[in-house]
Amino acid sequence: MNKKFYVTTPIYYINDIPHIGHTCTTIAADILARMHRQLGDDVFFLTGTDEHGQKVAECAQKEGLDVQVYCDKIAPTFINAWKELNISNDFFIRTTDPRHEKVVQELLQKIYDKGDVYKAKYEGWYCIGCEKFLTETDLVEKHCPLHPPEKTVQKSEENWFFKLSKYAPQLIEILEKKNYIFPGGKRNEVVAKLKSGVNDISLSRENVSWGIPLPWDKTQTSYVWFDALINYYSATQFLEDKAGFWPADLHLLGKEILWFHTVIWQAMLLSAEISIPEKTYTHSFYMVDGQKMSKSLGNVISPKQLTELFGVDGARYLIARSFPSENDSDVGIERFKERYNADLANNLGNLVSRVSKLADKLRITNYELRVDDKFQKLVDELKFDEAISWIFEEYIDKSNNRLNEVAPWKLEVADPKRIEVLTECSQNIRKAAYYLKPIMPNTCEKIEKCFEGEIKAPESGLFPRIG
Ligand SMILES: [Zn+2]
């Protein structure tokens, strides 16, 4: 039996358009999925769209469309964006899929049967943008800091509540025994909040018809967050060949949805008596030229912009290189250009071109490649920047240094010294391509083909310089 590896991205809210925030999470999951496939694991990589809730209904209304028609129109913008970036997800889940809706109802029923649900009146500030009630401490100048002021409204309604507080002690205990929250700093943040006291959370909405009806009270629909979180589990239930993949090995998420994914989701699963995920990893955000990325500032970077400038693999590389792991990552198109030219055009691309020309027709024996433990660990910890630096130091920079040292172009073709250094460099390039393959799949395949058996130069330059 192969090891299984089940990785998810958050499902993206359908009223948005893909930007580098979504893109970095999706590319990170793709790199992990591809590396684990290289390791021989059975991989299930899931992404998708979150399509319920008031906000979606309002957007559809603005466009004068039936809500489902609106969702069917927008979902492909994500599906196509990921296709263009060569994302290898095994399935794309949409929460309006009736198969998902059925699993949501079953899971909510389990929570209800457990006695973890009660009806109560809810009054408070609600952000339509976030689709959640805000506490006094969430408010900045009386409104949600993430959305325009008019999105924060006073709301009062009868809802079904989930006994989240009941599970706080159990979650603290689990976290003390086995941490599932990474990076570590986030664990401390969550534990502190759990210890300071947790309120129950409403699980349904009274006046939002665009949602999944509660099985025991058809006048209410499931709160969009409850419905959305269940996607990670539902896909393994309604896709027959994915049944063995639960629990997820890794949920990737952005820091704004930490609490939902590390507390509410786990508590829902505990209540329904379903195993909880092995690990969650929360990454930080992108800043663009020192500023928060926002539509109003007009500085949102889209995946299309990156692929048009740098090609698919160039874009994937730049995202991985700048991945906002523990801290926010400050990026900008100019800096992306510099990075691309330095690493890919001048360094890797130039090396491949020099060596393949000098070593033309030289035969190297192929050998089996295996993922080095150190590299695997760095990728599993989402330290892509360090992982890439390791590949460059280990194989690419070393080869460049050897070439400059020996200067094989000055030696006769049959000179053993020349053959030796070109063989060494060719093997290093082949290894680099193997390690870089999860990040730049197409380019690395091209490199591998040029450095297999009889060496030949690639048909065209791999990374044209960008002015
Ligand atoms: Zn908000």
Among 61, 65, 81, smallest CA distance to 73 is for 65
Residue 275 has what DSSP assignment?
P
Arithmetic mean of pLDDT, 146-162: 91
pLDDT at res. 128? 85
Q: Distance from the CA of 127 to the center of ligand 1, in angstroms?
A: 5
* Choice among 71, 130, 444, 450 that is catalytic: 130
142 is catalytic: no
* Choice among 71, 144, 425, 444 that is catalytic: 144
Among 324, 321, 323, smallest CA distance to 343 is for 321
182 torsion bin: left (phi>0), alpha (psi -120 to 50), beta (else):
beta
Q: Give the domain ranges of the chain.
A: 4-283, 298-454
| Four-way CATH pick for 4-283: 3.30.710.10, 3.40.50.2000, 3.90.600.10, 3.40.50.620 | 3.40.50.620
* Choice among 4, 102, 147, 279 that is catalytic: 147
144 is catalytic: yes
CB-CB neighbours of 97 under 10 Å:
17
Amino acid at 331: V
298-454: in CATH 1.10.1040.10: no
How far is CA 252 from its chain centroid?
5
Q: Distance from the CA of 330 to the center of ligand 1, in angstroms?
A: 23
Report the distance separating Cα 433 and Cα 356, nearest Å. Answer: 14
Among 149, 150, 148, 142, smallest CA distance to 124 is for 142
Q: Distance from the CA of 139 to the center of ligand 1, in angstroms?
A: 9
Instruction: Please list the residues that pair with 259 across neighbouring strands.
Output: none
**Looking at the predicted structure, is the pLDDT value of residue 130 above 90?**
no
Q: Distance from the CA of 131 to the center of ligand 1, in angstroms?
A: 7
Q: Distance from the CA of 430 to the center of ligand 1, in angstroms?
A: 48
Q: Pick the residue with more confidence: 467 or 273?
A: 273
Q: Does residue 247 have a cis peptide bond before it, meaning omega lies within 30 degrees of 0?
A: yes
24 is catalytic: no
**Looking at the predicted structure, is the pLDDT value of residue 1 above 80?**
no
pLDDT at res. 135? 82
* Choice among 62, 73, 295, 357 that is catalytic: 295
Among 403, 387, 306, smallest CA distance to 353 is for 403
Residues 322-361 have pLDDT tens digits of: 999 999 999 999 999 999 999 999 999 999 999 999 999 8
Kind plus residue range of the DSSP H or E element containing 181: strand 181-182
**Looking at the predicted structure, is the pLDDT value of residue 41 above 80?**
yes
Residues 236-278 have pLDDT tens digits of: 999 999 999 999 999 999 998 999 999 999 999 999 999 999 9
295 is catalytic: yes
Question: Tokens 């889940």 map to which residue?
Answer: 93
How far is CA 282 from its chain centroid?
10
* Choice among 73, 83, 142, 292 that is catalytic: 292
Report the distance separating Cα 235 and Cα 244, nearest Å. Answer: 11
Q: Distance from the CA of 209 to the center of ligand 1, in angstroms?
A: 20
* Choice among 24, 71, 127, 450 that is catalytic: 127
- Give the chain's radius of gyration (CA, Å): 25
127 is catalytic: yes
Report the distance separating Cα 114 and Cα 22, nearest Å. Answer: 36
- Please check whether residue 160 is in contact with residue 214, taking contact to mean a CB–CB distance below 8 angstroms: yes
Arithmetic mean of pLDDT, 281-302: 92
- Please check whether residue 33 is in contact with residue 7, taking contact to mean a CB–CB distance below 8 angstroms: yes
Report the distance separating Cα 291 and Cα 251, nearest Å. Answer: 27
Q: Distance from the CA of 146 to the center of ligand 1, in angstroms?
A: 5
pLDDT at res. 49? 98
Q: Distance from the CA of 255 to the center of ligand 1, in angstroms?
A: 14
Q: Distance from the CA of 252 to the center of ligand 1, in angstroms?
A: 21
Tell me whether domains 4-283 and 298-454 share a fold.
Answer: no
Q: Distance from the CA of 132 to the center of ligand 1, in angstroms?
A: 8
186 is catalytic: no
Tell me phi and psi for residue 201, to 5 degrees: -130, 140
Arithmetic mean of pLDDT, 63-74: 96
- Classified as helix, coil or strand, 282 is strand
Please, which pLDDT band fits residue 226 given cuts at 50, 70 and 90?
very high
